[in-house]
Amino acid sequence: MARREEHLSKANMFWNLAQTKVRNEATPFLCMNLIMYTVGHLIEALLAEHGRHPSSPPRGVPHGDRDVLLRKVLIGNGRLEPEWGDRYSELVARRDTFIDGGTQDRVFVESYMALARPFIVRMQSFQSTPGQS
């Protein structure tokens, strides 16, 4: 399991890559993933401050448990405002790894970035002051 500093380091790496790749109009599927990896690491950095780490179903990914812990630990104790729980759920719901709704395009990526950016900025505000809002 990664520690807070490792999650923050990866969040910064993915966020830099996401912004560059979106600007350079890279493959939308990859841009979407880079944005989600940024969000995931920022949430897990905050959770790590509370000694929590999401689990994953067998052969799966941790999105569902991350959602539960975000709401229970970070929103439940007032660290994050309630609206960010629904924002995370929406980002997970719109991310289509299995391309059920067709392959992502440029318009999708721009709307996905617009949805994620305020949430990322809010979580980045915790980086310099762990344990405080």
Residues that bind other proteins (CB under 8 A): 1-3, 6, 10, 13-14, 17, 21, 26-27, 29-30, 33-34, 37, 40, 56-62, 97-100, 102-103
* CB distance 39 to 48 below 8 Å: no
The H-or-E segment that residue 121 falls in is: helix 106-124
The angle subtended at Cα 106 by Cα 119 and Cα 121, nearest 5°, is 15
Nearer to other proteins, 56 or 111 (CB): 56
**Minimum CB–partner distance for residue 49 and other proteins (Å):** 16
**Minimum CB–partner distance for residue 2 and other proteins (Å):** 4
Nearer to other proteins, 83 or 99 (CB): 99
Nearer to other proteins, 5 or 81 (CB): 5
Alpha-carbon torsion (59, 62, 9, 13), positive or negative: positive
* CB distance 42 to 88 below 8 Å: no
